[in-house]
Amino acid sequence: MADDKKVKKPKVADPVAASIDVGTQEMLVRAQALNIDTVFDRAVTMKPCNIGLQGICCKNCAMGPCRVPLPKGGIEGEDTRKGLCGATANTIAARNFARMVAAGTSAHSDHGRAVAEVFLSAARKETEAYKIKDVNKLLSIAPLFDVAVTVEEDGEVKDRDIDEIAVEVGKKALSEWGKPEGNLYYLKRAPKPLYEKWKAQGVLPRSIDREVVETMHRTHMGVDQDYKNIVKQCTRTSLADGWGGSMMATDLQDVLFGTPYPLQAESNLGVLKEDHVNIVVHGHEPILSEMIVATAQRKDMIEYAQSKGAKGIQLGGICCTANEIFQRHGVPQAGTYLQQELAIITGALDAMVVDVQCVFQNLANVAKCFHTKLITTHPIAKMEQDNVVHIEFDEHYALEDAEKIVKMAIDNFQNRGADIMIPQYKASAVGGFGVESIQYHLGGTFRGTYYTLNDNIINGRIRGVAGVVGCNNARTRHNEAHITVVKELIKNDVIVLTTGCNGIACAMEGLLTPESAAVYCGPGLAEICETVGIPPVLHLGSCVDNSRILLAATEVVKAGGLGNDLCDLPAAGSAPEWMSEKAIAIGQYFVSSGVYTIFGLTLPTAGAPVFHDYLSKEMENLYGGKWDLEADPVKHAQLMIAHIDKKRAELGIDKARERVMMDMANRQALDA
């Protein structure tokens, strides 16, 4: 009889095994005490599907799903695995992979499109809320779209009207999504040899939407059934992301909201304040968050909050929205992707405002247990649960919409329960680096280039450059791989450029401070950080801002002395705890841009070894970059360093580093 059975308590996550962050652990204990399940618990109770994990489950038609598991010991001789239609493991895995790239590209690029649309309406003065803020940035990108910045009048060259330039840039940018001929404008920003490789391989993206559509078509049942040809198209699609949708998102956001410049803020759940109205903005698009920031800082809003008994309004960000408002306004980061449910479980969150991407549907279930208003804002991203409020954000009424949202949060302050617990952990962090500010900090003011950075790479004080980016994943201990990889790199004099949730993880760990250099860095990097006053880990923004990494690397190539192409640089890319399709798109455009790119956890290629080899070996012959996989974070970092050293040797600058090391040893010997 059922009643006789003991009611089994559901299995829950071990908080210490779930995260390295003490605040997160404390919140997890609280969640479990309140019987609220979080992603950490669900990761313990639900195992991932092993066949899907390996990338070899095809559900592209109704004769399937066809699953072609790889036998334990691998396959000797001919691989005869095939689906009902005959699709091989390579075809199935490549199709799945390409669709991930298409989905990731869509996410970044649709975000970019929304920015371009707002940009154009700002340029046309159709909206009060958005303005062309950074004229210098506009003037620097206009020529890339073949937009003139000067006019000739009566034989005299004059500056062209800014609004005119903006409208033309806006129109041309927007047409990048669907223009009928030609290639994307921004591809020419790549070093020439790289551009020529893309051209020779036939992977120059035409328009962004077209590449996504073609990927979907080619991976439909019974179309492209040669994994190499599928990879070719997914390369083209990924380039439409990295050098297209993402790059335009970054640039147009900078023009609208200001190019980031180094500033200081705080990071982790401890930024929430018990006596303030707390609003967390979560998702990706600054079109929304910028307006919330502006509104929450208004005097009348703060007074309204005070009239309701709060001391003020505390804003915080989660996921890439956190990075966006951190880098431009110094708004604190409330946490990473895996902390989104926990922010509500503090009991102190009066509203969580979300737009698109990386938003858990379970937020609605968690919000039901508290007074928190969960507000969706985007027409393409709603939730089925009935406690979710939808306030559609319209750029033409942006300030009114933002005011409605902020007021709703303030009005909700009085509904708080008594049981509040904000973990008292937060770290100070400096963020807001970019192509321009790296130039300012590490380039000579005299030369105004990346000369000083290059010089220090050549002389070996900086061993190389690593981009460490990407998500958290509940299948691995929260932040552990992020932090281990980054610490191992800076210990070995590799300077780290970070974006996305890695950036938040590093901020929470205190790695985004100049002071951390003396604690964690090797002698060469520590010396540079101390001299220049920068952190060893430079926060470059959100995931669309990975385009800043591409452009910074391009500037390094241009400054000279380190080869002619991105693949010549002593550089590597990493996503230690990736989870989203966007990460696969990013990985693919990094690899196709010549960067050795290593992921943690698993790759959805494991079940198709031939296809996997193509990505991890053959790609290098085509573009100079390749995929790699290593779950162990120390080995992961060591593989990056080995690649960096290989590139140093190829450039003939490996000896310089040995000399620097000797200098240090000599100096220490003298000290002793």
- Positions that interact with ligand SF4 (CB under 6 A): 58-61, 63-66, 83-85, 87, 92, 221
291 binds, among ligand SF4, ligand XCC, none (CB under 5 to 8 A by kind): none
What is the pairing mode between strands 427-431 and 464-468?
A: unpaired
Binding site for ligand XCC (CB under 6 A): 284, 319-320, 337, 358, 470-471, 500-501, 542-543, 580, 582
Instruction: Compute the least distance from the CB of residue 629 to ligand XCC, in Å.
Output: 18
Which ranges of 7-88 does DSSP label H, i.e. alpha helix?
A: 15-18, 22-33, 39-45, 50-53
Q: How far is the CB of 89 from ligand SF4 (least distance, A)?
A: 10
Minimum Å gap between C-beta 631 and ligand XCC is 18
Q: Give the DSSP letter string of 53-74.
A: HTT-EE-SSTT--EE-PPPTT-
CB of 351 to ligand XCC, least distance (A): 19
Q: b/e string for 337-351 if b means 16 or more Cβ within 10 A?
A: bbbbbbbbbbbbbbb
| CA count, 13 A, side-chain hemisphere, 279 | 32
Q: How far is the CB of 218 from ligand SF4 (least distance, A)?
A: 13
Question: CB-wise, 83 or 604, nearer to ligand SF4?
Answer: 83
Q: Which is nearer to ligand SF4, 43 or 61 (CB)?
A: 61
Residue 317 bridge partners (DSSP): 281, 333
- Integer distance in angstroms from the first to the last C-alpha of the chain? 78
Residue type for position 223: V
Q: Which is nearer to ligand XCC, 208 or 468 (CB)?
A: 468
CA dist 220 and 226 (Å) reads 13
Minimum Å gap between C-beta 458 and ligand XCC is 32
| Interacting partner of 60 out of ligand XCC, ligand SF4, none (Cβ under 5 to 8 A depending on kind) | ligand SF4
Give 470 or 570: the residue with its C-beta nearer to ligand XCC: 470
Least distance (Å) from ligand XCC to the CB of residue 582?
5
Tell me which of ligand XCC, ligand SF4, none is bound by residue 532, counting a contact when its beta carbon lies within the kind-specific cut-off of 5 to 8 angstroms. none
Nearest residue (CB) to ligand SF4, 80 versus 307: 80
Contact 541, 260 (CB under 8 A): yes
Q: Which does 66 bind (CB under 5 to 8 A by kind): ligand XCC, ligand SF4, none?
A: ligand SF4
Residue number with the smallest Cβ distance to ligand XCC: 471
CB contact set of 101 (below 8 Å; sequence gap of 6+) = 215, 234, 237, 238, 241, 581, 584, 585, 588
User: CB-side exposure of 519: number of CA atoms within 13 Å?
Assistant: 11
Q: What's the closest the beta carbon of residue 584 comes to ligand XCC, in angstroms?
A: 11
CA 653 to chain centre: 31
Binding partner selected for residue 358 from ligand SF4, ligand XCC, none, CB under the kind-specific 5 to 8 Å limit? ligand XCC
Instruction: Identify which of residues 108 and 197 has a Cβ nearer to ligand XCC in the complex.
Output: 108
Nearer Cβ to ligand SF4, position 43 or 85? 85
Selection from ligand XCC, ligand SF4, none that 582 binds (CB < 5 to 8 A by kind) is ligand XCC
Radius of gyration (C-alpha) of the chain in whole angstroms: 25
Distance separating alpha carbons of residues 602 and 600, to the nearest angstrom: 6
Contacts of 528 (CB under 8 A, 6+ apart): 442, 456, 461, 462, 495, 534
**Shortest CB 237 distance to ligand SF4, Å:** 20
Selection from ligand XCC, ligand SF4, none that 559 binds (CB < 5 to 8 A by kind) is none
Question: How many other β-carbons are positioned within 10 Å of the β-carbon of residue 519?
Answer: 13
Q: Smallest distance, Å, CB 358 to ligand XCC?
A: 3
Q: Which of ligand SF4, ligand XCC, none does 631 bind, CB closer than 5 to 8 A by kind?
A: none
Nearer to ligand XCC, 283 or 522 (CB): 283
Q: What is the DSSP string of 370-421?
A: SSPEEEE-BTTB--SSTTEEE----GGGHHHHHHHHHHHHHHHGGG--S---
From CA 185, how far away is CA 188, in angstroms rounded? Answer: 6
By the 8 A CB rule, do 262 and 432 touch?
yes
The option from ligand XCC, ligand SF4, none interacting with 84 (CB < 5 to 8 A, set by class) reads: ligand SF4
Which of the choices ligand SF4, ligand XCC, none does residue 420 contact, using the CB cut-off of 5 to 8 A by kind?
Answer: none
58 binds, among ligand SF4, ligand XCC, none (CB under 5 to 8 A by kind): ligand SF4
Residue with tokens 């609208």: 256
DSSP string, 134-194: -HHHHHHHGGGGT--SEEEETTEEEEPPHHHHHHHHHHHHHHTTT-SSS--GGGGGS-HHH
The least CB distance from residue 226 to ligand SF4, in Å, is: 15
Residue 273 structure tokens: 């304040």
CB of 168 to ligand SF4, least distance (A): 45
For ligand XCC, the closer of residues 240 and 540 by Cβ is 540
Nearer to ligand SF4, 93 or 187 (CB): 93
Partner from ligand XCC, ligand SF4, none contacting 525, C-beta within 5 to 8 A by type: none
Cα torsion 81, 86, 92, 98: sign: positive
